């Protein structure tokens, strides 16, 4: 098959056949289709969209591009968790030890940074010595010993998503419902947990900017999961400002450890508690008991202790003092007195990427120390000059003045306090 003809069909709006999708996905995982052709196809799908049938073909072909781990057969209670991607979204690093400490095994097939969002795999890379589980045997060993594993797409599992994910990151082809559904659900189904908790982000820092887009994405994800026999609990959650107060790899690991220690950012803590309680509800606990158990694990130190066990099992050092630190910090002050009326979370995410916390080209080295600390949240009253954010600089040379000006512009200051937005906007599937 001449792959140029397949790209042309999608470019011109035709529906892809099973053979077309197979050629695309096989070409991605085997390396037989060139990167520029894969990227052209991704852009064509991004612009033209894909039908429900094409999306299902993509999910299945990408799932079957590597091994099926069938985790649910060996660990029927295991729960998987995934976010559609946001800014300051450090939930997975808290969720895994927290839920494991409550006795429910956690499967984490995580991703690297995507577009303006920072990914769990990059954050884990900031922990000295941390290695994601490289094989099914290693992952299952971690699961049996410490109740959780972190793994990545690889040549063994979900290789098509591994390739396409890296290309989407640097070709502005992330915000596409069919591509997001195929990426997330192919690797969830390849790992094969029987329960899945989904956090579908909505707002300025998400790939879905409107509630309608987020609902369509959530329904598509739940539909694919339930169609494959997976119990799915999904929440649509607010991403109209960064979730936590830190963006960047090492910084987000510190933020996670703070929450696990019983303190930390209130919004990050609240959402993680909600998602963790859903995981426990799927394992049969009533909602009030689930919430109480999660709160207890944060308060009595068992979640933090479990974090140490999980990190050590993956070869890492859980001592936060050993995380990379920024070389220099630049405060960004409020231009005037007023209320923070809105935060352009995507703009802050791109600033973090520009500082080095993400990739601009395939193969870029992520600067683990770089990031942005968010010091004012929507609704806060601020005085002129008060820090809205602090840029944390690593090794990458950057135009500090431009970055600081862009960061200041990401905060809209107004005379009136805006109405408070709920953190959990809607629940679908098993969480409804």
Question: String of b and e for 236-256 (b: at least 16 CB within 10 Å)?
Answer: bbbbbbbbbbbbbbbbbbbbb
Q: CB-wise, 75 or 165, nearer to ligand URA?
A: 165
Cα 22 to Cα 61: distance, rounded to the nearest angstrom: 6
Residue number, 63 or 306, with CB nearest to ligand URA: 63
How far apart are alpha carbons 431 and 279 in whole angstroms? Answer: 9
Give least dist CB 304 to ligand URA, A.
27
Give the residue among 258, 297, 262, 261 at the shortest CA–CA distance from 276. Answer: 297
Distance set, CA 338 to CA 78, 209, 279, 345, 419 (Å)? 47, 25, 40, 19, 15
How many C-beta atoms lie closer than 10 Å to residue 329's C-beta? 11
Instruction: For residue 198, list its beta bridge partners.
Output: 82, 234
Is the CB of 153 or the CB of 378 nearer to ligand URA? 153
The nearer residue to ligand URA, 71 or 92, going by C-beta atoms, is 92
Q: How many CB atoms lie within 10 A of CB 286?
A: 10
Nearer to ligand URA, 58 or 340 (CB): 58
Whether the CB-CB separation of 61 and 16 falls below 8 Å is answered with: no
Provide the annotated active-site residues.
Answer: 82, 161, 168, 183, 187
CB of 322 to ligand URA, least distance (A): 28
Strand partners, 152: 110
Q: Is residue 46 within a helix (H) or strand (E), and if so which, with residue range?
A: helix 35-48
Longest dimension (CA), the chain: 63
Distance in angstroms (rounded) separating the CA atoms of residues 132 and 86: 22
Q: How far is the CB of 248 from ligand URA (least distance, A)?
A: 18
Nearer to ligand URA, 183 or 390 (CB): 183
Cα–Cα distance for residue pair 267/313, rounded to 1 Å: 29
Q: Which residues bind ligand URA (CB under 6 A)?
A: 84-85, 111, 114, 174, 179-180, 183-184
Q: How far is the CB of 5 from ligand URA (least distance, A)?
A: 26
In this structure, the strands spanning 231-238 and 195-202 are parallel
CB of 183 to ligand URA, least distance (A): 3
Closest residue (Cβ) to ligand URA?
183
From the CB of 151, what's the least distance to ligand URA, in Å?
13
Task: Compute CA distances 165 → 61, 119, 210, 227, 300, whole Å.
Answer: 15, 11, 23, 24, 38
CB of 180 to ligand URA, least distance (A): 4
Q: How far is the CB of 31 from ligand URA (least distance, A)?
A: 21
- Asked whether 240 and 345 are in contact (CB, 8 A), the reply is yes
- Order of all β-strands in the sheet with 328-333: 246-247, 371-374, 387-393, 328-333
Of 201 and 267, which CB lies nearer to ligand URA in the complex structure? 201
49/335 with CB nearer ligand URA: 49
CA distances from 209 to 309, 351, 354 (A): 37, 19, 22
């Amino acid at each position: 098959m001449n792959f140029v003809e397949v790209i042309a069909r999608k470019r011109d709006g035709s529906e892809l056949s099973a053979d077309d999708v197979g050629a695309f996905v096989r070409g991605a995982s085997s390396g037989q289709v060139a990167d520029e052709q894969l990227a052209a196809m991704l852009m064509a799908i991004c612009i033209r969209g894909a039908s429900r049938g094409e999306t299902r073909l993509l999910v299945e072909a990408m799932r079957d591009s590597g091994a099926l781990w069938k985790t649910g057969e060996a660990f029927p209670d295991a729960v998987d968790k995934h976010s559609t991607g946001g800014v300051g979204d450090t939930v997975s690093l808290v969720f895994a030890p927290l839920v494991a400490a409550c006795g429910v095994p956690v499967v984490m097939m995580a991703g690297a940074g995507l577009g303006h969002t920072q990914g769990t795999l990059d954050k884990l890379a900031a922990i000295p010595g941390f290695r994601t589980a490289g094989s099914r045997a290693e992952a299952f060993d971690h699961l049996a010993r410490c109740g959780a594993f972190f793994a990545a797409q690889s040549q063994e599992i979900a290789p098509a998503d591994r390739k396409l994910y890296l290309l989407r990151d640097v070709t502005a082809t992330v915000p596409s419902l069919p591509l997001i559904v195929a990426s997330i659900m192919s690797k969830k189904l390849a790992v094969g947990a029987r329960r899945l908790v989904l956090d579908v982000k909505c707002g300025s820092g998400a790939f879905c900017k409107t509630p309608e887009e987020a609902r369509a994405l959530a329904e598509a994800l739940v539909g694919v999961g339930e169609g494959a026999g997976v119990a799915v609990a999904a929440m649509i959650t607010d991403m109209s400002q960064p979730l936590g107060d830190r963006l960047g790899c090492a910084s987000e690991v510190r933020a996670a450890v703070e929450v696990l220690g019983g303190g930390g950012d209130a919004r990050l803590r609240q959402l993680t508690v909600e998602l963790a309680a859903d995981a426990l509800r799927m394992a049969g606990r009533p909602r009030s008991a689930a919430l109480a158990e999660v709160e207890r694990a944060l308060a009595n130190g068992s979640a933090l202790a479990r974090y140490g066990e999980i990190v050590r099992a993956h070869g890492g050092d859980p001592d936060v003092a050993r995380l990379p630190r920024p070389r220099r910090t630049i405060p960004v002050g409020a231009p005037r007195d007023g209320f923070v009326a809105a935060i352009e979370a995507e703009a802050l995410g791109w600033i973090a990427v520009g500082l080095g916390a993400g990739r601009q080209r395939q193969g870029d080295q992520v600067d683990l120390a770089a990031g942005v600390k968010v010091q004012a949240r929507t609704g806060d009253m601020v005085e002129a000059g008060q820090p809205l954010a602090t840029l944390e600089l690593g090794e990458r040379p950057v135009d500090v003045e431009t970055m600081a000006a862009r960061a200041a512009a990401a905060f809209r200051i107004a005379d009136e306090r805006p109405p408070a937005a709920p953190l959990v906007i809607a629940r679908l599937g098993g969480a409804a």
